[in-house]
Amino acid sequence: MARDDVRVRFAPSPTGYLHVGGLRTALFNFLFARKTGGTFILRIEDTDQKRSVTGAVEKLMSTLRTIGIKDDEGPDVGGPCGPYIQSERKDIYRRHVDRLLDAGVAYHCFCTEERLERLREAQRRKKLPTMYDGACRDLPADEVRRRLEAGEPSVIRLRFPREGRTVFDDVVRRKVAVDNELVDDQVLIKTDGFPTYHLANVVDDHLMGVTHVIRGEEWLSSVPKHIYLYRAFGWELPVFVHLPLLLNPDRSKLSKRQGDVAVERYLERGYLPEALLNFIALLGWHPADDRELFSLEELCREFSLDRINKAGAVFDVDKLNWMNGWYIRNLDLETVADRTRPYFEAAGIDVSDRETFVKVVAVARDYVSCLEEMVDRGRMFYEDICFSDEQRELVREEVSRSIYTRWIGEMEAKPAWTREDTENFIKQSMKELGLKGKNFYFPLRLALFGNTHGPDIPSLIDILGPRETVSRFRRALEQV
RNA sequence: GUCCCCAUCGUCUAGUGGCCUAGGACACCGGCCUUUCACGCCGGUAACCGGGGUUCGACUCCCCGUGGGGACGCCA
């Protein structure tokens, strides 16, 4: 299977955002191209004018770019098979459908949408399969010509054979068979002159030299139509690879209604491209061993079509959160700081003191599963602490006040204060005040950090610096 | 309703007839580490949908059920 002329494509429709299922399809295509040394094509399927959203193509490409999936050919980088936007290829489809018309493989249909709707309704009532009844399938040629010339709205349908059986191979499901009589006369060209997915997809895949069609399982049942088109044109079939669906927690097809499906939403909240890609690669695919932390380069090396799963996969946000947290904790600290910075700035926090900010990130990253959460784990280093009633009670206790007073005295007496000084004085003051454990540490952390739980005291004082530390003790002492 | 596809812990999955007393990861529970929480480390609970075959032997192969999903649009 390892051919060096592999050509695959990701062909999204520009709906305004990138669906996580789409990202998975894009990723698998990309990985297969990289693995085989093939070409990854990006093609925009915008043949539905009603669904077209302005700016969606640019947004889609920018999302793909930030996530690290780069196309070898596409609307942005060009290539020998352009244009890569289907709305700019209208005449190509028109030319091809004429060939089908001439060969009698397609026909004009004048049925109105209302008639079709009534037809389907009647079929449903009679518990029959819902499909076109072929009313216009055998219209006399002169009648067709007359109605066309009269300007009557029409579509062009595929004249699908009514007997026989279509059997085809799929890399994931092996053999799939469908009785031809159950395959509908699919509309190829709509009233507005635009092609439907089925026509555009087959024509473009052939013209663009696509060797492997890797896409979601929702397309499996329309493969017979596509195969019939390939044969009608006299073209070689691509290899079909239908990926298992991504599912909601209730196991229905992953949809907006049950959580976030827009990749942009995850990116906004600080899910790292590394984590998103790693996580999504494991949905429907598994490496040969038990590893599950992979960089994109490693995925490119390990990926193979024969380890793709058949069953649908639930998109488990819990595991994504764990994996994203893992990346936040294990990626280079400076890199994480760079990527975290915009979140603090958006919250109006001045983090221009880089050295301090990196320290904040270093302690905060142990607590979060996405970058957005870093702000709540780090803002107390930049903002005045606000105590709850319960916390204020602890701060006001005599022991607490004695700790603060003792520390202020010690720190003000010393011109410089190091981390080592903190460590030493913790021991010393504990002994002096006769305190230990939580009785000592909770009041201390509360005054400095605003919470009894959190990073260790030396880290807190290291980040705050002696001046701010002393002033926080004073503020604690002022609590009434 | 019709057709197609699928079926191992709650979830993602390993498993291609004996290596399975069914492995890993997330989540959950417990322990350790630690001044606390978190991180980390260690351990635990937890699954082969059911019934028939085939076979010396089935999680693995076949059939039938059952369950789930997808498609059935002049959407992709």
pLDDT band at A360 (very low <50, low <70, confident <90, very high): very high
φ/ψ of residue A174, rounded to 5: 60, -120
- Mean pLDDT across the stretch A137-152? 97
Covered bases, chain B (protein CB within 7 Å): 1-8, 10-15, 23-27, 34-40, 68-76
> Binning pLDDT at 50, 70 and 90, where does residue A4 land?
low
Round to a whole number and report the distance in Å from the CA of A443 to the C1' of B67. Answer: 57
Give the distance, in angstroms, between residue A131 CA and nucleotide B2 C1': 10
Asked whether A52 and A12 are in contact (CB, 8 A), the reply is: no
Which residues, 6+ apart, have CB-to-CB distance to A85 below 8 Å? A43, A44, A46, A57, A75
Q: Closest nucleotide to A113's CA, by C1' atom?
A: B74
> What integer is the mean pLDDT of A428-452?
92
Please determine, for residue A239, whether its predicted confidence score (pLDDT) is greater than 60: yes
Q: What is the mean pLDDT of residues A431-437?
A: 88
Q: Which nucleotide is nearest to A13 (CA to C1')?
A: B76
State pLDDT tens for residues A365-424.
Answer: 999 999 999 999 999 999 999 999 999 999 999 999 999 999 999 999 988 999 999 999
For residues A127-146, give the mean pLDDT: 96
Cβ contact A49 with chain B strand, < 7 A:
no
**pLDDT at A259 (0 to 100):** 87
Residue A21 reports pLDDT greater than 50: yes
Chain A 368..397 CB hits on strand B (< 7 A): none
What mean pLDDT comes out for the span A173-199? 96
Q: Is A50 a catalytic residue?
A: no
pLDDT tens-digit series, residues A256-267:
888 899 999 999
A 76-95 residues, CB < 7 A, strand B: none
Tell the burial category of A22 from Cβ atoms under 10 Å away from its Cβ (0-12, 13-18, 19+): buried
Amino acid code (one letter) for A315: F
The per-residue pLDDT for range A268-310, each reduced to its tens digit, is: 999 999 999 999 999 999 999 999 999 999 999 999 999 999 9
From the Cβ of A443, is strand B under 7 Å away? Answer: no
pLDDT at residue number A3: 44
Which of residues 92-111 of A have CB within 7 Å of strand B? 111
Residue A81: the pLDDT is 97
Query: Distance from residue A240 (CA) to nucleotide B22 (C1'), in Å?
Result: 33
> Quick one: which of A396, A414, A394 has its CA closest to A477?
A396
Q: What is the mean pLDDT of chain A?
A: 95
Peptide bond into A249 cis (omega under 30): no
Q: What percent of chain A has pLDDT above 70?
A: 99
Q: Which of A253, A256, A436, A438 is catalytic?
A: A256
Q: Taking residues A38-66, report their average pLDDT.
A: 95
